[in-house]
Amino acid sequence: MKFENLFQFINQKDIWHIKDLLLIFNQNISFNSFADDLGKSIAKYEELISLTYQQSICQINAEQASLIGNGFLGCKNLQYLSLNLSTNKIQDNGATKLFECFSECCQLFTLDINFSYNGITKQGAIGMGKALKKCQNLSIFHFKLISNKIKDDGLNELAMGIASCQNLKIISLYLNDNQIGDLGVQCLGKELEKNINLNQLTLGFNYNLITNFALFGQVGSLFSLSIKAITIELCQNKLDQQGAINIATSLVQFSNLTDLTLDLSLNNIGDETINNLANQLVQCADLFKFQLNLNQTNISDLGIQNLCNSLIILKNLRILNIGLIDTNISDQSITNLSYTVHKCANLQIFSFEIGWLKLSSQIKNRFLKKLKKASKLIDYKINNWKIR
């Protein structure tokens, strides 16, 4: 649709009353008049409740982002906003202005933002954090800020804004490749503990500079008791044994945890980490779903054996996904895992990645035989080989 036809359509008075609006653009913006006209058009939808706006890889700059953001100021009843401006040039000023605009939507309940690849630094994080403090009704916050440069100081400012949203129940932060280290993680953890109503937490920290993931502190806090699902992604950081052990140790405080995903791949960790994780897992008696990615680590048969011993104890476990590509395991780990699946009485879905590990035909057949005998197993997948 040509721009002039688009504006002719969305400026029709007889559709200004609609409650849901979806706008997806795939063309570059090289002039401000389009952004200005679009912002003015959006502002006319005063009864709008749900808005989805997507315009990735379109060379949007800070000024154009601000003009589009002005349209949100007219949407006073907006409750759901999904905004994808990834891979543009909005930078600090554009990101700050956009957050300031939709923070004026007092009824906002769900905020789903993607500002990845936009040249945003600490200053942008400061502006976004300040604006978030006004979003007091926010319950769900999904934020992708991949491959920017907010660093530790920027994360601290952003975390303080998130902590001000006391009604948050679901938080997803994807901060991959942002030059974040241990200090930023500690600041985030301190602020997150103020969100005592939180049920689900997803933290994407892949490709950063983290050595010691000391995120969670006080055992028995209201924060730890409310959490039901945690996802932590730390692929290719600087984690050492002790840093990874701290992750496992912190799990003991989440006594009501039902869903846990840990990605520790491409880090310098080994059996000691897994032994500690295995010891803590048995405290998560309600665990329903467990996903563990140990690809390209120094894990050996000893660590897998201890992990398997703990998994058998988890009587409520239904879904298990383990990644062991390019590790130090042998046939013995495959045998232990097959025995574990067989003994996990209520396990229904099992997924296993082993890469190019050379298995003897005897071990492979024994493994499959054990899986088929698992009484409640509905589906299992080995690499890309799926059998029902």
The DSSP annotation for 326-350 comes to TSB--HHHHHHHHHHHHH-TT--EE
The confidence score (pLDDT) of residue 5 equals 63
Pair (263, 375) in one structural domain: yes
Question: Does residue 80 lie within any of the structural domains?
Answer: yes
pTM: 0.94
Output b/e per residue, 289-323; b: 16+ Cβ within 10 A: bbbbbbbbbbbbbbbbbbbbbbbbebeebbbbbbb
Q: How far is Cα 143 from Cα 175, in angstroms, rounded to an integer?
A: 8
Pair (223, 102) in one structural domain: no
CB neighbours of 57 closer than 8 A, spacing ≥ 6? 86, 87, 88
Each residue's pLDDT expressed in tens, for the chain with a length of 388 residues: 455 566 666 777 777 788 999 998 876 665 677 888 889 889 888 899 999 999 999 999 999 999 999 999 999 999 999 999 999 999 999 999 999 999 999 999 999 999 999 999 999 999 999 999 999 999 999 999 999 999 999 999 999 999 999 999 999 999 999 999 999 999 999 999 899 999 999 999 999 999 988 777 554 456 677 899 999 999 999 998 888 888 888 887 888 899 999 999 999 999 999 999 999 899 899 999 999 999 999 999 999 999 999 999 999 999 999 999 999 998 899 999 999 998 998 999 999 888 767 777 788 888 888 888 887 888 888 875 544 3
Domain with 233 in it? 211-388
* Residue 360 burial class via C-beta count within 10 angstroms: exposed 0-12, middle 13-18, buried 19 and up: exposed
Phi, psi of 126 (to 5 degrees): -60, -45
Pair (336, 228) in one structural domain: yes
We report the CATH number of the domain holding residue 344 as 3.80.10.10
Among 119, 142, 164, identify where a domain stops.
119
| Closest C-alpha among 167, 28, 25 to residue 88 | 28
| Closest C-alpha among 171, 274, 187, 182 to residue 230 | 171
| Closest C-alpha among 104, 144, 153 to residue 125 | 153
Pair (82, 230) in one structural domain: no
Q: How far is Cα 70 from Cα 61, in angstroms, rounded to an integer?
A: 15
CB atoms < 10 A from the CB of 30, how many? 10
Question: Does residue 235 lie within any of the structural domains?
Answer: yes
Q: Are 119 and 86 in contact (CB under 8 A)?
A: no
The confidence score (pLDDT) of residue 37 equals 86
